[in-house]
Amino acid sequence: MLLTVAIVDYGTGNLHSVIRSLNRLGTNGTVASNSEEILRSDKIILPGVGHFGRAMQRMQSLGLVPALNHAVLVDKKPILGICLGMELMAKRGEEGDSEGLGWFNGEIVRFRIKNELKYKVPHIGWNQIHISKDSRLMKDIPEASEFYFLHSFHFAMSDRSSILNETEYEYTFPSAIEKDNIFGVQYHPEKSHDLGVQLLKNFLDL
């Protein structure tokens, strides 16, 4: 049976890069902009770049939040959040002072950088991940692998059991999270060459 992967379109995100990466793996991603397409899917990818508060408003106005909550929390469909898509899984975001989806007990905060000459915001480019726990999402991805980042905000969370990866940028921040069927990565696997394709393959194989 053909796997159905819904790539959630809420007016922000790098959908075409994700689709191209899935095509490399022989899987056709379906752009989903309504609740029915999300609920019919086997797996969900929530991409995104941009403003936290406006993204949540957009998803609410499209009626996507109830569908995502049902698909993820009730039907237990695997979901992968990418960059802003991961951030939206938090309880709250500083940007726009907005509530998020609330799937993880944490908030999204702007980088608090002291050495602004060395560490620019946004954090752009390649950086290492450190793997905090065993996960099928990390299969065949070595410790200290490099992925591509582009963000000004990051997760702040006290529950370390949900942290999958951490990354250093003047200080340590969570760069991937995992809880049950919910996965999120701050970096962009669709822009991270072979290791990014491997991560997406791992997600498809869950």
- Provide the CATH topology of domain 5-95+104-205: Rossmann fold (3.40.50)
Chain segment 14-58, per-residue pLDDT in tens: 788 898 899 889 887 889 999 999 999 999 999 989 999 999 999
Residues 197 and 157: beta-carbon distance below 8 Å: no
- For CA atoms 134, 167, 71, 28, give the dihedral sign: negative
Q: What is the mean pLDDT of residues 79-88?
A: 98
Query: Phi and psi dihedrals of 106, rounded to 5?
Result: -165, 170
Stated pTM of the model: 0.97
What mean pLDDT comes out for the span 68-83?
98
Region 94-101 average pLDDT: 96
pLDDT tens-digit profile of 120-158? 999 999 999 999 999 999 999 999 999 999 999 999 998
DSSP 8-state symbol, 28: -
Q: Over 80: is that where the pLDDT of 161 sits?
A: yes
Look at residue 1 in the predicted model and tell me its pLDDT.
57
pLDDT mean over 95-109 = 97
Output 24 or 102, whichever has higher pLDDT: 102
Residues marked active site are found at 83, 188, 190
Residue 195, C-beta contacts closer than 8 angstroms, at least 6 positions apart = 141, 145, 146, 147, 189
Domain range summary for the chain, segments of one domain joined by +: 5-95+104-205
| Structure token digits, residue 130 | 């450190």
Largest CA distance in the chain: 53
